[in-house]
Amino acid sequence: MIEVLQTGPLNTVQDLGRFGFRNAGVTSSGAMDRLALTVGNLLVGNGEGEAALEVQTFPFRLRVNRDTTVAITGADCDARLDGGRLPPWWAVAVSAGQVLELDTPQRSARAYLSFAGGIDVAPVMGSRSTSLRGGFGGLDGRFLAVNDRLGIGGAGAYAMPPGGFGAMPPEAALADHFPASEDGTLLVRAVPAGEYALFGGEAERFWSQTWKISSQSDRTGYRLSGEPIKLASPVELRSHGVVPGVVQMPPSGEPIVQMSDANTAGGYPKIAGVIDIDLWRLGQARIGSRLRFVRSSVAEALAVERAVEAYLEDIRRTVPMLVQAIAVMSRR
Amino acid sequence: MIKGPKRKSGSIAEQVLDPVILGKIALWLDEAGVNSIEIETKDGRLVRIVAGAGVSTDNTDSNPDLSVSPAMPVKAPIAGHFLPVHPARDRAEATIGAAVIPEQIIGFVKIGPLVMPVRVEESGRLEGCCIEPEALVGYGDTVFLIEP
């Protein structure tokens, strides 16, 4: 059992998402940074799809009421366990009664708390993710509040080494596969989408200009601010299916990037689609930060996906070996 | 400062405080062109002998050119590459000269995709780092020195 002692709004239970029901208008939901959630679960010996807490408003504080293991991944929130500082991307054993605190991160937007055995809430349509718009999943379909109590699955799969251990953050381990700009602007790779050609010569500015993530951004979508891009001539479109990553261009000419709680259908022209493997980076982008779209290809997207899968497989394989080695050495 | 090779010994911590032995060590250091030596004892303590640094023991009269300062080693928890700064951060967890407390993480060892903590066992002041960033360390190698 864990008990929420302090929280802002919009912190929710999330797993990797709810799939197979878009035809019924059910959004996929799921973690905004799926990679951080996956790594967190691997560090505590969980299946990678177990439910965790997605924390995006701070400070956040909880007490554990049983011995367990927790991993903190995603944004570096200067986590502290009973006042002792923990590094980011870290897993550690926690004892009943200990208090874990997260502060507002200096960079990135969302932290994930994965507990051994996962957050024990009832699955809805195959997922424990909270759908805030639908009001179901997670903890009663709502965001966390002070005094909430959540069950956790069970004891850790591993005996944690003293002080715990961590994973190399993907930004460092996969630096060769994710472009970085010199001025800190987030580079997000995308491919042209169905209505790209309708923007004519205007479309070029979609790639060349720097966009700002506006305050009207949330888990449903990011509204970007910049010099508007207009259709060459007005068109009427039928509503079509929408998935996370789709970049729509409403009449205002400022793009909307659909995120984890993406609408299931929409009628705005689609200028581009963010490649799936870059969505976690967008999920960590903060309101007010700047980004630029980089034209990519399916081949590049697949190559990056393979690199990320190799990184995860490396963690999957190495965690049990490391824990076993430490246990042997501690007996010497 | 040039460091001499580390040697393991039993009750050497007490022996080196003997003025006669200190005198001999001073002579050896001088002949070898080495100005300090660290000796690790069985209980994991390090005795550092520094030539020409003044005397910090009770044996000041007989050994005016040597100081003996016990320093506690902070050791690598596993073999891997030493990281003085966490790869997601810009700054080290503790700076040289800072007070450190038991269980505090002050560095990291990278092993494949994972990171192990280098942790303080006893309170003190962080005296120095013995390993270059990214250098390979072995299990039990001294990574930091702490002045109790």
Chain A residue with minimal CA distance to B139?
Answer: A329
Per CB-CB distance under 8 Å, the chain B contacts of A331 are none
Chain B residue with minimal CA distance to A320?
Answer: B114
- The Cα of B48 is separated from the nearest Cα of chain A by a number of Å equal to 27
ipTM value, please give it.
0.91
- How far apart CA A244 and CA A255 sit, in angstroms, is 14
Per CB-CB distance under 8 Å, the chain B contacts of A168 are 87, 110, 113-115
Q: Which region among A48-52, A102-106, B9-13 has the lowest average model confidence (pLDDT)?
A: B9-13
Give the confidence band of B13 by pLDDT, cuts at 50, 70, 90. low
Asked if residue B54 has pLDDT above 50, the reply is no
Of A172, A322, A325, the CB nearest to B88: A172
In the three-class reduction of DSSP (H, G, I as helix; E, B as strand; rest coil), residue B59 is classed as: coil
CA terminus-to-terminus distance, chain A: 35
- How far apart CA B112 and CA A38 sit, in angstroms, is 18
**What average pLDDT does the structure give for chain A?**
95
Asked if residue B63 has pLDDT above 70, the reply is no
Q: Where are the beta strands (DSSP E) in B1-148?
A: 7-9, 36-41, 46-51, 66-75, 80-83, 99-100, 105-111, 114-119, 124-129, 136-137, 142-147
Look at A161 and B77 and tell me if their CB atoms are within 8 Å: yes
Look at A164 and B117 and tell me if their CB atoms are within 8 Å: yes
Which DSSP symbol is given to A199? G
User: How much of chain A exceeds pLDDT 70, in percent?
Assistant: 99
Cβ atoms < 10 Å from Cβ of B34: 16
Rounded average pLDDT over A24-46: 97
Spatial CA neighbour of A202 closest among A266, A149, A255: A255
Give the confidence band of B28 by pLDDT, cuts at 50, 70, 90. confident
Look at A314 and B108 and tell me if their CB atoms are within 8 Å: no
pLDDT at site B43: 62
Of B86, B111, B119, the CB nearest to A88: B86
Q: Which two tokens stand for residue A212?
A: 């700002």
Look at B139 and A88 and tell me if their CB atoms are within 8 Å: no
- The Cα of A166 is separated from the nearest Cα of chain B by a number of Å equal to 5
CB pairs under 8 A between A and B: 75
Look at B115 and A172 and tell me if their CB atoms are within 8 Å: no
Mutate which: A322, A324, A331, A332, vs B, most B CBs within 10 A: A322
Of A165, A314, A326, the CB nearest to B115: A165
Of A88, A165, A329, the CB nearest to B114: A165
Per CB-CB distance under 8 Å, the chain B contacts of A89 are 88, 115
Look at A314 and B112 and tell me if their CB atoms are within 8 Å: yes
- The Cα of B11 is separated from the nearest Cα of chain A by a number of Å equal to 22
Spatial CA neighbour of A109 closest among A32, A182, A203: A32
Rounded average pLDDT over A39-52: 96
- The Cα of A310 is separated from the nearest Cα of chain B by a number of Å equal to 10
Look at B105 and A319 and tell me if their CB atoms are within 8 Å: no
Look at A164 and B111 and tell me if their CB atoms are within 8 Å: no
Dihedral, B96, B101, B102, B103 alpha carbons, nearest 10: -70
Give the confidence band of B21 by pLDDT, cuts at 50, 70, 90. confident
- The Cα of A53 is separated from the nearest Cα of chain B by a number of Å equal to 21
Give the confidence band of A324 by pLDDT, cuts at 50, 70, 90. confident
User: How much of chain A exceeds pLDDT 90, in percent?
Assistant: 91
Rounded average pLDDT over A233-248: 91
Look at A314 and B103 and tell me if their CB atoms are within 8 Å: no
